């Protein structure tokens, strides 16, 4: 089975399907911008509820999620008015540079933020069977007993620090399975099955975490997240520090999970990873999602200038960094946070672009390059 | 061999009885970027550490412009050691959490007796070169992002104007824009100083874009 996502054909009518490396050049894109901008503005301004864009209910619906950290002398705007929906069978990747707020998003969804965080907005989880959960505002007791692990599994960033060092892999798996309702008799066989699913040799299950290579530890951590069969899997930078074959293996595991009907929210700085397995990519910049598009479209014809800049930085494209520096989250400009680095910025960029909600293809920009989807 | 280069000759290294490198040769000449490729556990990082004069090989030796610098068990003069710099994958594991970024960058200069005013000026100059704004320089590692910390590590690596720079997955945990920027800084430095670069990366696109020559390290021999 191949899981590489080819770029989707871009619909006729969008004229700016120049080679992606040149997509930032204003001359190739001014016409489609004029054509699509009013449409974008209307749709973005409508502000419908999240998840209704294509009529299907989402498994995870995040609506206006905002996270602030109070420091001694400043407020960190870590996540701002964020909307996203993940459907069963969908793999959504949130990409962005370090410090843009994407890991805070993951922690907010798990209720694992520190005490100085203020969370507003909504994040609802509607498993196909069983009760609905509010991820924002529920008690720690409810999150710990009914949500974390059970309905939201976490594939951690660093398996070496996430695994209990004094237990073998087998013990960790059996413990997890029993905590989620398997009997003492069922657990051993179930543990081996889960291990086999992620490509872990049963012989390696009797090792302690320090005896496992990085790749084996990552597979064990993934197996632990999958063991309770959670409808939503949250993967926070799951491939950092792994070499390419192990990266691909880990990504393919996540893809298989979606193909079997699960939903995955992948948080990563690795655009190649997102391209390989994601159905939809959301680009995060300075606490906001600035563009959310089907993967093939986004890579073929990015609409937000930041997305275009990020793609241009790839070594297989122009290998040219985005000029300037990301702003401090304690000191964000009132308008578009990318405007100071953007060569398309005008006076109107001093006002915030309309937030977007709901529908699958969106860009939050006053001067988008092109929008591939109708 | 007396040519101008950093070279490993028949280098062998074992860990816990397992041979990781077994008679490996590798040569990095001024101005070139040698890509080093190999499967997980094939000894890429170990070879980089041997070339960085951080790990003495059990057999074989390292030469710098034809002079033996590792293999013999003697302390190296700073004038030799500072000619080779290394940049690691994880800047958090490579920096002292108690130091501010300015001190992280200036520390190698202080260690070799550079006058304080000069060390500070040079640190500020390099911070600017790698794209760190002055307001970040007083911060300690926990208060900056991975990308900002790796920029500081690159500045630190270049502070003694090394002739050779070894990048061991140095951009693997960075976003595309930061990676492209750091690569540009290294390439500019390389052009100005005719420095040789060893590039270890698992990203085929980065390898194809950056390396002028690629060397494959076979899987480690088991013994």
pLDDT in tens, B70-106: 765 567 888 888 999 999 988 999 999 999 999 999 9
Which residue(s) pair with A82 in the sheet?
A: A65
What distance in Å separates residue B143's CA from the closest CA in chain A?
A: 11
Residue B145: its chain A contacts at CB < 8 A?
97-99
pLDDT score of B117: 97
Residues B140 and B78: their CA atoms lie apart, in Å, by 27
Asked if the Cβ–Cβ distance from A213 to B41 is below 8 Å, we say yes
Asked if the Cβ–Cβ distance from B147 to A319 is below 8 Å, we say no
Band of the pLDDT at A358, cuts 50, 70, 90? low
User: CB distance from A302 to chain B under 8 Å?
Assistant: no
What phi and psi, each to the nearest 5 degrees, are found at residue B125?
A: -65, -45
Residues A68 and A333: their CA atoms lie apart, in Å, by 16
Taking alpha carbons only, the member of A242, A102, A247 closest to residue B89 is A242
Percent of chain A at pLDDT exceeding 90: 59
Residues B158 and B9: their CA atoms lie apart, in Å, by 26
CB A92, CB A58: distance < 8 Å: no
**Higher-confidence position of B197 and A13:** B197
Asked if the Cβ–Cβ distance from B176 to A310 is below 8 Å, we say yes
* Angle subtended by helix axes B116-129 and B101-111, to nearest 10: 130
Closest CB to B175: pick one of A97, A319, A320.
Answer: A97
Nearby residues of A76 by Cβ (< 8 Å), 6 or more positions away: A68, A69, A329, A330
pLDDT score of A97: 86
Secondary structure of residue B154 in the 3-state scheme: helix
Closest CB to B205: pick one of A215, A310, A314.
Answer: A314
Characterize A246-284 residue by residue with b for buried, 16 or more Cβ atoms within 10 angstroms of its Cβ, and e for exposed. bbbbbbbbbbbbbeeebbbbbbbbbbbbbbbbbbbbbbb
pLDDT tens, position by position, A254-308 = 999 999 999 999 999 999 999 999 999 999 999 999 999 999 999 999 999 999 9
Q: What is the ipTM of this complex?
A: 0.89
User: CB distance from A241 to chain B under 8 Å?
Assistant: yes
CB A132, CB A138: distance < 8 Å: no
**Higher-confidence position of A21 and A372:** A372
Asked if the Cβ–Cβ distance from A315 to B205 is below 8 Å, we say yes
Residue B133: its chain A contacts at CB < 8 A?
325
Residue A240: its chain B contacts at CB < 8 A?
172-173
- Predicted TM-score (pTM) of this structure: 0.83
Secondary structure of residue B221 in the 3-state scheme: coil
What phi and psi, each to the nearest 5 degrees, are found at residue B103?
A: -75, -35
Residue A272: its chain B contacts at CB < 8 A?
203, 205
Residue A311: its chain B contacts at CB < 8 A?
176
Strands B164-168 and B84-87 turn out to be parallel
CB B35, CB B203: distance < 8 Å: no
Asked if the Cβ–Cβ distance from B177 to A309 is below 8 Å, we say yes
Strands, E, within B88-140: which ranges? none
**Which residue of chain B comes nearest to A100, CA vs CA?**
B145
Work out the end-to-end distance of chain B between its first and last CA atoms, rounded to an integer number of angstroms: 31
Interface test with A, best of B40, B177, B183 (most A CBs within 10 A): B177
Residues A147 and A132: their CA atoms lie apart, in Å, by 10
Q: How many CB atoms lie within 10 A of CB B1?
A: 9
């Amino acid at each position: 089975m191949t899981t590489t996502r080819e770029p989707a054909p871009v619909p006729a009518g969008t004229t700016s399907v120049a080679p992606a490396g040149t997509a930032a050049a204003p001359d190739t894109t001014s016409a489609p911008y004029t054509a699509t901008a009013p449409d974008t503005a209307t749709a973005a301004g409508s502000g419908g509820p999240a998840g209704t864009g294509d009529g299907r209910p989402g498994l995870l619906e995040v609506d206006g999620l905002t996270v602030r950290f109070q420091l001694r002398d400043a407020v960190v705007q870590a996540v701002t008015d964020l909307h996203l929906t993940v459907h069963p069978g969908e793999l959504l990747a949130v990409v962005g540079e370090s410090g843009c707020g994407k890991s805070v998003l993951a922690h907010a969804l798990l209720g694992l933020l520190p005490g100085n965080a203020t969370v507003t907005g909504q994040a609802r989880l509607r498993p196909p069977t069983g009760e609905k959960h509010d991820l924002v505002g529920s008690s720690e007791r409810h999150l710990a007993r009914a949500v974390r692990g059970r309905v939201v599994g976490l594939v951690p960033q660093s398996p070496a620090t996430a695994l209990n060092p004094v237990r073998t892999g087998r013990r960790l798996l059996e413990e997890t399975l029993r905590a989620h309702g398997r009997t003492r008799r069922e657990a051993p066989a179930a543990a081996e099955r889960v291990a086999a699913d992620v490509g872990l040799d049963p012989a390696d299950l009797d090792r302690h975490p320090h005896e496992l290579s990085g790749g084996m530890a990552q597979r064990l951590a993934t197996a632990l997240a999958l063991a309770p069969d959670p409808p939503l899997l949250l993967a926070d930078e799951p491939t950092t520090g792994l070499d390419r074959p192990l990266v691909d293996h880990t990504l393919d595991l996540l893809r298989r999970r979606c193909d079997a009907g699960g939903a995955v929210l992948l948080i990563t700085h690795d655009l190649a990873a997102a391209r390989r397995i994601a159905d939809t990519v959301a680009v995060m910049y300075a606490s906001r999602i600035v563009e959310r598009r089907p993967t093939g479209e986004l890579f073929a014809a990015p609409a937000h200038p930041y997305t275009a800049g990020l793609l241009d930085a790839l070594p297989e494209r122009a290998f040219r960094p985005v000029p300037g520096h990301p702003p401090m989250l304690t000191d964000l400009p009132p308008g578009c946070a990318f405007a100071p680095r953007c060569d398309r910025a005008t006076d109107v960029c001093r006002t915030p672009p309309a937030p977007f909600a709901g529908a699958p293809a969106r860009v939050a920009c006053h001067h988008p390059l092109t929008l591939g989807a109708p | 061999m007396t040519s101008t280069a950093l070279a490993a000759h028949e280098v062998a290294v074992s860990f816990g009885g397992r041979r990781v490198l077994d008679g490996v040769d590798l040569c990095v000449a001024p101005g070139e970027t040698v890509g080093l490729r190999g499967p997980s556990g094939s000894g890429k990082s170990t070879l980089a550490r041997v070339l960085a004069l951080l790990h003495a090989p059990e057999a074989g030796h390292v030469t710098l412009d034809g002079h033996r610098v590792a293999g013999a068990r003697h302390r190296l003069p700073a004038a030799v050691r500072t000619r080779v710099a290394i940049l690691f994958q994880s800047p958090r594991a490579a920096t002292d959490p108690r130091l501010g970024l300015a001190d992280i960058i200036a520390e190698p200069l202080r260690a070799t007796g550079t006058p304080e005013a000069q060390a500070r000026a040079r640190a500020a100059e390099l911070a600017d070169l790698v794209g760190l704004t002055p307001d970040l320089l007083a911060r300690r590692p926990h208060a900056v992002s991975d990308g900002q910390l790796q920029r500081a590590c690159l500045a630190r690596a270049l502070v003694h104007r090394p002739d050779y720079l070894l990048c061991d997955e140095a951009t693997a945990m960075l976003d595309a824009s930061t990676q492209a920027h750091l690569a540009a800084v290294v390439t500019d430095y390389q052009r100005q100083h005719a420095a040789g670069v060893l590039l270890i990366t698992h990203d085929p696109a980065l390898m194809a874009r950056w390396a002028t020559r690629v060397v494959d390290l076979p899987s480690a021999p088991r013994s």
